[in-house]
Amino acid sequence: MSHGGLSGPAGDSVPIANTPSRALVISALGVTQIFAWGTSYYLPAVLAAPIVADTGWSLAWVVGGLSLGLLTAGVISPWVGRAIALRGGRPVLAVSAGLFAVGLFALALAYSLAGFLAAWLVIGLGMGAGLYDPAFATLGRLYGESGRSAITTLTLFGGFASTVCWPLSAFLEARLGWRGACLVYAGFQLAVALPIYLFLLPRESRWPIAEPLTRDAPTRRPLQPAAPGGGIFLLLATTITLASVISTVMSVHLLTILQAKGLALAAAVGLGALVGPSQVAARTIEMLIARFHHPIWTKIAATSLVTAGLATLWLGVPIITFALVLYGAGIGLESIARGTLPLAIFGPERYPVIMGRIAMPSLIAQAIAPTVGALLLKTGGPDGALIVFFIVAGGNALLVLALLFILRLRLTETAEVA
């Protein structure tokens, strides 16, 4: 894969006015990603209990706000991808900061369940326009095929979202209440995230939406990008969606599973905390060695590690620690593969659109996954649920191997045509 400058739909360089340094752009996006995740996806983990205690609403409805937000994010993702492809990520991400601010402000002022859920609808719009997939699409459009290292670095920042925002949310809730915490986060989005997007991200030239290349179309890449439809896309979207489902289910139910294995809550929390550092460690290693391999191998490593981790977790004590390290490393690599593999397969011209289309089933599945996981735990217990998770993860690993076979076959066909 070449690592040259950004190319437009016709292969020409796209001028970018007032371009900040690459390191500054990635660092700026990294900071905003920490708080985009921390003020949406990770928010209920700390604030759900205080909200229930203050309002009397059921925990299911309070946590269901996040599911509603994920569902909303999934529905709008294809339009977000097209907007980034057409105009660049700067205006889309700036809008996401505004939506987060409005949604968090509305959450703080919600005194009815309907108002609370309406606020989560707005936050969901912000999630669809401001989480990993739009950020990845922005970097892919900015840096083209050389965007892989930028995406990998961005996931290192994202890995600290819960580390930063869980204790911060607890601190704010203890001193200002959950409503005050939401207001502080709304202020952060307006005072910090929005200016970062407007003043530190480069303005980009307008692109037409790229059309699929034909076999005879000129290209400067050794492997012609795949068309955005067909079997390769469906296979890739399926593997990413299945990985997202497993990650979401385990993030919600991991402590429950560990306690059902006989661990006390404190021990379960301590062991569960291994997942985060394992993610960061795996991403760091990937950042150092990424130039030596195609992203498909990152995806293979991710699915293999997750499958091995779930199988080992099912076996239980005394190897739970090892299981969680394997699992954490796998989901850490999965976040990278989610961003880098579509870029390598489909090329930078189509990348924002592809990311939007992949995000839709993934986010919708994530919205449903916690409920499905709860039903599996209720009917089959932790061991029965882990067996199902293992089967899904193992099947996903086989799908990735099938994707590898198809990509190699396409490479052979391209070489024969050349």
Q: Are 340 and 152 in contact (CB under 8 A)?
A: yes
**Rg of the chain on CA atoms, in Å:** 21
Closest CA to 136 of 291, 358, 294, 290: 358
Q: For residue range 103-128, list pLDDT tens digits in order.
A: 999 999 999 999 999 999 999 999 99
Q: Any idea which residue has 């299911």 for tokens? A: 60
Written as six digits, the tokens of 21 are: 């340094």
The CA-based dihedral angle spanning residues 398, 400, 405, 410, taken in that order and rounded to the nearest 10 degrees: 150
Q: What is the mean pLDDT of residues 359-370?
A: 92
Cα-based distances in Å from 317 to 47, 128, 136, 267, 270: 32, 39, 38, 12, 15
Cα-based distances in Å from 7 to 83, 88, 226: 18, 13, 16
Residues 6, 251: Cα–Cα separation, whole Å:
36
Query: In the predicted model, is pLDDT for residue 147 greater than 90?
Result: no
pLDDT at 55: 94
pLDDT at 375: 87
CB atoms within 10 A of CB 48: 17
DSSP line for 243-279: HHHHHHHHHHHHHHHHHHTT--HHHHHHHHTTHHHHH
Closest CA to 100 of 26, 165, 33, 176: 33
Query: In the predicted model, is pLDDT for residue 331 greater than 60?
Result: yes
Written as six digits, the tokens of 198 are: 């407007």
pLDDT at 11: 37
- Altogether, the residues listed in the chain come to a count of 418
What values do phi and psi take at 39, rounded to 5?
-100, 10
- Say how far residue 151 (Cα) sits from the centre of its chain: 11
Q: For residue range 201-251, list pLDDT tens digits in order.
A: 988 766 555 443 333 333 334 444 555 557 899 999 999 999 999 998 888
Q: For residue range 303-321, list pLDDT tens digits in order.
A: 999 999 999 998 876 788 8
Residues of the chain with pLDDT > 70: what percent? 88
Give the strand pairing for 203-204 and 16-17.
Answer: antiparallel
Longest dimension (CA), the chain: 67
Query: In the predicted model, is pLDDT for residue 15 greater than 50?
Result: no
**Secondary structure letter of residue 192 according to DSSP:** I
Q: Which residues of 266-284 are buried (b: 16+ CB within 10 A; e: fewer)?
A: eebeebbebbbebbbebbe
Residues 244, 252: Cα–Cα separation, whole Å:
12
52: region left, alpha or beta (phi > 0 left; psi from -120 to 50 alpha): alpha
Written as six digits, the tokens of 108 are: 């703080």
Q: What is the mean pLDDT of residues 97-102?
A: 98
Q: For residue range 38-93, list pLDDT tens digits in order.
A: 999 989 888 888 999 999 998 889 988 999 999 999 999 999 999 999 888 999 99
293: region left, alpha or beta (phi > 0 left; psi from -120 to 50 alpha): beta
Q: Give the ranges where 144-290 is alpha helix by DSSP (H).
A: 148-158, 161-188, 194-200, 231-260, 265-272, 275-289
Q: Any idea which residue has 């005194």 for tokens? A: 111
What residues contact 50, with CB distance under 8 A and at least 6 apart? 173, 177, 178
pLDDT at 103: 97
pLDDT at 373: 87
The band of 398, judged by pLDDT with boundaries at 50, 70 and 90, is very high
pLDDT at 414: 59
Q: Which of 12-26, 142-156, 214-228, 269-283 has the highest mean pLDDT?
A: 142-156
Written as six digits, the tokens of 98 are: 């505004």
Angle made by CA atoms 154, 284, 300, in degrees to the nearest 5: 90
What residues contact 13, with CB distance under 8 A and at least 6 apart? 5, 6, 7
Question: What pTM value is reported for the model?
Answer: 0.83
Q: Which residues of 244-262 are buried (b: 16+ CB within 10 A; e: fewer)?
A: bbbbbbbbbbbeebbebbe
For residue 13, the cross-strand partners are 7
Residues 355, 363: Cα–Cα separation, whole Å:
12
Q: For residue range 367-376, list pLDDT tens digits in order.
A: 998 888 888 9
Rounded mean pLDDT of the chain? 86
